[in-house]
Chain A
Amino acid sequence: MKPIYFAPLAAALAVLVPNHARATIQGVTGTSFNLTAREDTISTGDGDSMYMWGYALDNRRMQYPGPTLIVNQGDGVTVRLSNKLPVPVSLVFPGHNVTATGGVPGLLTSEVPAAPSTAVVTYTFTASEPGTYIYYSGTRSDLQVEMGLAGALIVRPRGAPKQAYGDPRTAFDREYLFFLTEADPAIHQLVAFGKLAQVDMTARHPVDWFINGRNFPDTVQANNVRYLPTQPYNCFPRMHPGEKVLLRMVSAGVDLHPFHTHGQNHLVIARDGRLLSSNLSVPNPIPDLAISDYTTSAVPGETVDAIWGPWTGAKLGWDIYGTANLRPHNCTPDATGFDPASHEWCADHYKPIPVLLPTPSELTHGNFYGGTAYLGIPGGLPADNPGARMQQNLVGGVSFMWHSHSERELTTNDIFIGGMATMAMVVPMNVPIP
């Protein structure tokens, strides 16, 4: 991954980086998209490669998942699909009223015939309601979704790009995509060898689990790394104390996944692009049926919007930025006792963590332990510590694992730890977040 910029300790909280909002979900914006169904391979966390079918943007390589299409509420959206695969393919957009032209009629929608047909099917719809949506092949979907023909669609509310929906209660500081899938490599091998007739989807036995097309720990590598050319999207949520993080969860496989956020609950505000609201008939419904959970059922084909945070270390009983001897800093409370600059609770100012922590040499720790419990104070980790060597957490962030709580899904082809997992990191206010 790209090392995160680390401000010297002496500068500590004196240099505050303005919290400029950035689009943290990679994707393609616009209203008109050209997709092509193609074959290619991806890399899995066990060192293997897997033959895939997927959607490619324009003339690029296919990617897993397909390009995240980002549009605005009210847009008329056009998606043109071409096909380089030896089987017919198509596109369905659940939750949208789609008109398809060209190609040949299928059971769910119009289909593009197998290559070498040069036919193009044009799918048009109006993105009338904001939210998180899914698209996938509506042709022999059981096999083609398994092979990778699926992607995410994000519709931003009109005039409110930093909200998930029209209501201000759905505002977020940062957003991340969680596109959840699973795969059975044996099926991919049969398809790669041209033995389609031997594929029996009732005998499917997935052993690989993905977020945004990657297994952990590839999920926390950077977007668009050269060694994952067909898996461009990472899933590495980072935030400052006090920020709200929107999880856009898209469950594209066929198994249920109990998705769990360590650290604190997330508030489920919507499913399938519709707010959890007792009255959806008003122009901007409110999420009055939102549910606070630490584990959310990701249901195949469905989407979930959930807000995690803000995490401020409230009521921890110790200073998240460290004690006076480790880092001199001020806490200037507002009327509620919160420092709006450093995003800490002054009631715990300079209080040490109330237990005696073992020294780094007495611990076995993973890539994400910064060496101390305090934000922005990396400890003196041994040189051979994986955290020091792999530079996952040079900024002294506090990390929480977000993952499927079906524990066998934390493996990649029987290798622990892998699969449907990632790390979410709270970093000090002075550390910029890409």
Chain B
Amino acid sequence: MTSLIQIGFPRRTVLVPLLSLGALLGSSSAPAATRDVFLRVDQFQIPANAFGNAAPITMWGFIQTDATFTPLPGAVASAPGPALQATEGDTLNLHVMNKLPTASATVYTEPISVVIPGQTPVLAPGTWPTWTDGTKGNRAGSLQRVRSFTTETATGATSIYTFANLKPGSFLYQSGTHPAVQVQMGLYGCLSVLPVAAGQAYGDASTAFDSEVTLLFSEIDPAQHASIAAGHYGPNPPVPAPADWLTSTINYLPRYFLINGAPWKPGALPIPAGVHGKKLLIRFLNAGLQSRVPMLQGAYALIVGEDGNFLTITDPAGRVVPAARQQYSVLLPAGKTIDAIVTTPAVAGRIPVYDRRLALSNGGAASPGGMLVHLETH
């Protein structure tokens, strides 16, 4: 619920790519405005031995580009894609180019699209959804199945996905086309929308924070990535079919468990979490297909938001008041986002955060590995 959102303050807009903080898009003091972000969808590889994987893993990912779809300096395709930031009330234009490889006998590819659950897309009538026969608009017959929730972008083509009047909170942007394949291939990222009130997660003052971190959980099933990379995917396998041919993702069995795109491995660096004894906003997002339970070792979090909704109740006097829950862990089902505020310990140090469903191995090898990070205050 956003009923407590304060309005009427000057609006501040920053769109920051996570991997290149220097590349600001837009002014930091402009009023709510239309913001244009350019993304390209590329196929890329996680090299062998990056985290215990014997073979390279083929991924699909977003890369931030300029208006000609040339990658920004230093930007590479990644999963999750670049972290996007915006301000409440903004209109977001995502310009997307599909640079997945062209289909051939040995290459499997698909059209792509982008959705942001919880935000309002601007969609022209008749342009969505896209059906499995390639047509758009209203359903023409009972044999049609949805392929894309929105307008789709074919290989080599570009589209603009517009989201108006953004609401504050944490959101996943992800593929809206054949998500069973494309999300697990890597087409996901975080959009955080700040309220007009500075230094808060939502409009209510109880959500004030001093610093923030984003912890985005996802998984990789390397067998499915290998089949798709080899072109061995689709509903109509050749006869005889290759042994690794997949007709669906039903046997999804993830073997790598990632936070912000990487599992824990020896030498993993802690995540900076601001000054000790201060309020730390943690944006938990689950782009994977399984439920996770992030556990804060030795700390409690105040859960203030879910799916971009500030948690409130109506008290007996009829007032809408905050209704945060205090827990040491957070149930984070697939596709969900949680905003939680931790008052970090009075002494500088590290807070371990790990998946309490204990996905703590890399490729099935002996743990430690998997979904474990340390938040470090100074």
Contact of A145 among B321, B358, B372 (CB under 8 A): B358
Q: How far is the CB of A124 from chain B (nearest CB, A)?
A: 13
Identity of the chain A residue whose Cβ is nearest the Cβ of B369 in the assembled complex: A142
B366 close to A95 (CB less than 8 A): no
Give CA–CA (A202, B291) in the complex, Å: 14
CB distance from A326 to the nearest CB of B (A): 46
Q: Which of A142, A256, A278, A289 has the most CB of B within 10 A?
A: A142
- A255 to chain B: which residues have CB within 8 Å? 357
CB-nearest residue of chain A to B312: A278
Residues of chain B lying within 8 A (CB to CB) of residue A222? none
When chains A and B are docked, how far (Å) is the Cα of A145 from the Cα of B358?
A: 9
Contact flag A92-B293 (CB < 8 Å), given A140-B367, A278-B322: no
User: Contact at B364–A272, with CB atoms within 8 Å?
Assistant: no
Decide if B345 is an interface residue (CB 8 Å cutoff).
yes
- Which residue of the partner chain A has the closest CB to B321? A278
Q: Do A300 and B297 form a contact, CB below 8 Å, given A143-B367, A201-B361, A272-B329?
A: no
The B interface, classified by DSSP as helix, strand, loop or mixed, is loop
Question: Which residues on the A side are within 8 Å of B368 (C-beta)?
Answer: 107, 140
Q: Which residues of A contact B357 (CB under 8 A)?
A: 254-255, 300
Contact status A142-B345, CB under 8 Å: no
Q: How far is the CB of B11 from chain A (nearest CB, A)?
A: 30
Contact B293 A302 (CB under 8 A): yes
In the docked arrangement, what's the CA distance between A361 and B315, Å?
55
The closest CB in chain B to the CB of A302 belongs to B329
Asked if B275 is at the interface (CB within 8 A of a chain A CB), the reply is: no
Bound together, the chains give a CA A44 to CA B105 distance in angstroms of 52
List B contacts of A138 (CB < 8 A): 297
Chain A, interface residues (CB within 8 Å), range:
35 or more
| B191 on the A face (CB < 8 A) | no
Alpha-carbon distance between A143 and B363 when the two chains are bound, in angstroms: 14
Question: Would you call B313 an interface residue if the criterion is a C-beta within 8 Å of the partner chain's C-beta atoms?
Answer: yes
Give Cα A138 to B367, complex, Å.
11
Residues on A with beta carbons closer than 8 Å to the beta carbon of B120: none
Residue in A94, A199, A288 whose beta carbon sits within 8 Å of that of B328 in the complex? A94
Contact partners of A197 in chain B: CB under 8 A: 366
- B366 neighbours in A (Cβ, 8 Å): 140, 143, 196-197, 199
- Cβ proximity bits A232-263 to B, threshold 8 Å, 1 near / 0 not: 00000000000000000000001110000000
Q: With A140-B368, A255-B357, A256-B291 given, is the CB distance from A302 to B327 under 8 Å?
A: yes
Q: Is A203 positioned at the interface, with any CB of B under 8 Å from its CB?
A: yes
B352 neighbours in A (Cβ, 8 Å):
107-108
Tell me which of B255, B298, B327, B359 contacts A142 (CB under 8 A): B359
B18 interfacial contact with A, CB 8 Å: no
A271 in contact with B325 (CB, 8 Å): yes
Asked if B360 is an interface residue, CB under 8 A from chain A, the answer is yes
Known: A92-B297, A97-B345, A107-B352. A274 touches B364 (CB 8 A): no
Per-residue 0/1 for B326-359: is the Cβ within 8 Å of any A Cβ (1 yes, 0 no)? 1111010000000000000100000010101111
| B295 contacts partner chain A, Cβ-Cβ < 8 Å | yes
- Given A143-B367, A302-B293, A278–B358 Cβ distance below 8 Å? no
A residues near B331, Cβ cutoff 8 Å = 256, 297, 299, 302
B295–A94 CB distance below 8 A: yes
Cβ–Cβ < 8 Å partners of A60 in chain B = none
State the CA gap A405–B356 with chains docked (Å): 21
Check: A98 CB closer than 8 A to any chain B CB.
yes
Q: How far is the CA of A109 from the CA of B255 in the complex (A)?
A: 26
Q: Is the CB of A142 within 8 A of B297?
A: no
Using Cβ atoms and an 8 Å threshold, which residues of chain B touch A94?
295, 297-298, 328-329
In the complex the two chains form, is B367's CB within 8 Å of A274's CB?
no
Please state if A272 and B360 are interface contacts (CB–CB under 8 Å). Answer: no
Task: Check if A301 is an interface residue, CB within 8 A of chain B.
Answer: yes
Q: Does A384 contact B (CB under 8 A)?
A: no
Measured between beta carbons, the chain A residues less than 8 angstroms from B325 are 271, 274, 276, 289
B30 lies within 8 A of chain A by Cβ: no
Task: Specify which of A142, A200, A256, A278 is in contact with B360 (CB 8 Å cutoff).
Answer: A142
Give Cα distance in the complex from A227 to B268, angstroms. Answer: 47
A43 at the interface (CB under 8 A from B): no
Give bound CA distance, A237 to B321, whole Å: 37
A292 within 8 A of B: no
Contact (A301, B298) CB under 8 Å given A202-B255, A254-B357: no
Cβ of A249 to closest chain B Cβ, rounded Å: 14
Q: How far is the CA of A302 from the CA of B300 in the complex (A)?
A: 12
Q: How far apart sit A300 and B323, CA to CA, in the bound complex (Å)?
A: 23
* Nearest-neighbor residue (CB-CB) of A140 within chain B: B367
The reply to whether the CB of B253 lies closer than 8 angstroms to some CB of chain A is: yes
CB distance from B255 to the nearest CB of A (A): 5
Which residues of A lie under 8 Å from residue B329 when comparing CB positions? 94, 272, 299, 301-302
Residues on the A chain within 8 Å of B293, using CB: 299-302
Do A142 and B291 touch (CB < 8 A)? no
CA distance A200 to B331 in the complex (A): 24
A305 vs chain B, min Cβ distance (A): 13
The 4 closest A-B pairs by CB, nearest first: A301-B356, A200-B364, A142-B358, A272-B327
| Chain B residues with a Cβ under 8 A of chain A | 253-255, 264, 291, 293, 295, 297-298, 300, 313, 315, 321-329, 331, 345, 352, 354, 356-361, 363-364, 366-368, 370, 372
Given A138-B297, A256-B331, A299-B293, 11 more pairs with CB closer than 8 A: A97-B345, A141-B360, A141-B367, A142-B360, A142-B367, A143-B366, A201-B361, A256-B291, A272-B300, A300-B356, A302-B331
Q: Could you show 5 A-B contacts with beta carbons less than 8 Å apart? A: A107-B352, A141-B367, A202-B361, A203-B364, A301-B356
